[in-house]
Amino acid sequence: MAEKINALLVFCEGPHDVAFCRLMFKYCFDINQISWKFSEYPAPFNQLFKTSMENHAAQDMSLDMAHKFFLPDRTLYNENRKLLVLLFNTGGKNKTDNPKTFLKDFLPLLKQSTVFPGDAKKIVNNCSYLFLYDRDHKAPSDVFSWCQNEFSQIGDDIFISEDFITDEGNNLAAGCMEKTVGVYVFSKSKSPGTLEDLLFPMFESARGELVSEVGKFIDSAFTWKTEQENAEKRIAEIARRKKAIITTMGQRNKPGSSMNVVVDQGKLISKTIFTQNNDVKLFVDFVASLAVLRTREFTN
């Protein structure tokens, strides 16, 4: 008989979020990256991924189209807790068709997986969903409403049947349907911003002198309009500058690498600095409250 496990699907706005989440699940939940073949995934993912790959391979498409979202960027698993975490890079707020298409294929199969598991050795019994976005210049509640409107219906079926409820004590987080669905916006808790506003202080704590030196170089080499009146453009420019500094800091350990590689593999932030960061703690507390993680092992 196939073993029943739980799953959490995390839909990230971009590759930096994926890198950040991989570290968060590793450091804070002991859920680590694994490399499974399609046949090793639990039902219904085993058949879904295989079919998706075959369908893409059968189409006559250009290379750039072949890289469209259809598989997770990272697969994480904890055997003791029987929990699978899939991290997806959706490609940004304006690419909602990517996760919608995936969910449209996945949700009907999830309902059938216990009845028709095929050759799978594991079956997804319960599944939760987490949507991650930068707050940018908007109020968190506006992002929650936007997310609910975008994903309330998948295909012909209702996916989000309740309003999101903002977490008590954390205005960046909201959940619904007994927290089987959650949404989190990245910024400092009391101001607009992006994921970089969480990451940058950790790099400053870990390598303050290097941050200062790289910052001086970045500012001397390029012009940054970080004090312009337009809030949307100002916040985006501040984020770009921080991305440039973080990316440059990682070039000794990971020459030529992008920011997501620097965050994920650069080893510039220690586990202690990461886990003791107050903004990270807020995010971790919310993730721990999601339905498939709401167990004694995670919350104690």
Distance CA 185, CA 50 (A): 32
What pLDDT score does 70 carry? 67
Q: Which helix (H) or strand (E) holds 4?
A: strand 3-12
What pLDDT score does 113 carry? 76
144's CB contacts (< 8 A; 6+ apart) are: 164, 166, 174, 183, 185
Give the SS3 label for residue 73. Answer: coil
- Beta-sheet strands, E only, within 160-217: 165-167, 170-176, 181-186
Q: Is 252 exposed, middle or buried (0-12, 13-18, 19+ CB in 10 A)?
A: exposed
Say which amino acid occupies 189.
Answer: S
The CA angle 286-186-140, to the nearest 5 degrees, is: 85
Q: How far is CA 148 from CA 80, 131, 174, 183, in A?
A: 33, 10, 11, 9
Distance CA 249, CA 266 (A): 9
Task: Kindly report, residue by residue over 163-196, the tens digit of the pLDDT.
Answer: 999 999 999 999 999 999 999 999 998 899 999 9
DSSP 217-270: HHHHHS---TT-S-HHHHHHHHHHHHHHHHHHHTTTTSTT--HHHHHHHS--S-
Q: Which helix (H) or strand (E) holds 9?
A: strand 3-12
pLDDT along the chain (300 residues), means of 10: 92 96 97 92 88 66 56 94 95 89 93 73 94 97 97 95 95 97 94 96 97 98 96 96 98 96 96 97 97 66
Distance CA 252, CA 263 (A): 13
236's CB contacts (< 8 A; 6+ apart) are: 136
Contact 250, 268 (CB under 8 A): yes
Distance CA 76, CA 84 (A): 6
Distance CA 218, CA 214 (A): 6
What pLDDT score does 300 carry? 39
DSSP 91-139: -STT-THHHHHHHHHHHHHHHHTTT--TT-SEEEEEEEEEEEEE-BTS-
Distance CA 85, CA 71 (A): 13
| Nearest CA among 148, 51, 128, 133 for reference residue 84 | 128
